[in-house]
């Protein structure tokens, strides 16, 4: 049975090869005066930030959804579950928010 690190690396490799993503980024929601705004948070894979290469970045809205995607991922699944189309880039982007 593969360790978490081996499985994580396989997940990273799959995202890069199947989707052409250089970066997988976790974003966190910041509340300011009652408004929600997305702010870059922890990056899972090294690479450029989202605003520099939006079409080459797989974005998680927060760490919770990144962990859920990783642990719920089935080998060679076309895309991690719970993701919807990202219209501007034609890529996929997680829009779920876990608070």
Domain ranges (residues) in the chain: 19-93
Given the structure tokens 């579950």, which residue do they identify? 81
Half-sphere exposure of 88 (CA within 13 A, CB side): 7
Q: Is the pLDDT of residue 53 over 60?
A: no
Higher pLDDT, 48 or 66: 66
Q: Which of 88, 77, 99 is nearest to 53 (CA)?
A: 88
DSSP state of 84: E
Pairing of strands 91-93, 84-86: antiparallel
Per-residue pLDDT band for 41 (boundaries 50, 70, 90) equals: very low
Per-residue pLDDT band for 3 (boundaries 50, 70, 90) equals: low
Per-residue pLDDT band for 58 (boundaries 50, 70, 90) equals: low
Alpha helices, DSSP H, located in the chain: 4-19, 63-72
CA 55/CA 49 separation, integer angstroms: 11
């Amino acid at each position: 049975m593969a360790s978490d690190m081996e499985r994580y690396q396989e997940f990273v490799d799959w995202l890069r090869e199947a989707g052409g993503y250089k970066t997988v980024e976790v974003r966190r929601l910041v509340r300011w005066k009652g408004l929600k705004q997305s702010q870059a948070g922890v990056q899972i894979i090294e690479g450029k930030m989202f605003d520099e290469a939006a079409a080459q970045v797989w974005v998680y809205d927060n760490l919770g959804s990144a962990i859920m995607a990783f642990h719920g991922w089935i080998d060679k699944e076309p895309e991690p579950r719970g993701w919807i189309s990202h219209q501007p880039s034609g890529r996929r982007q997680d829009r779920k928010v876990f608070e």
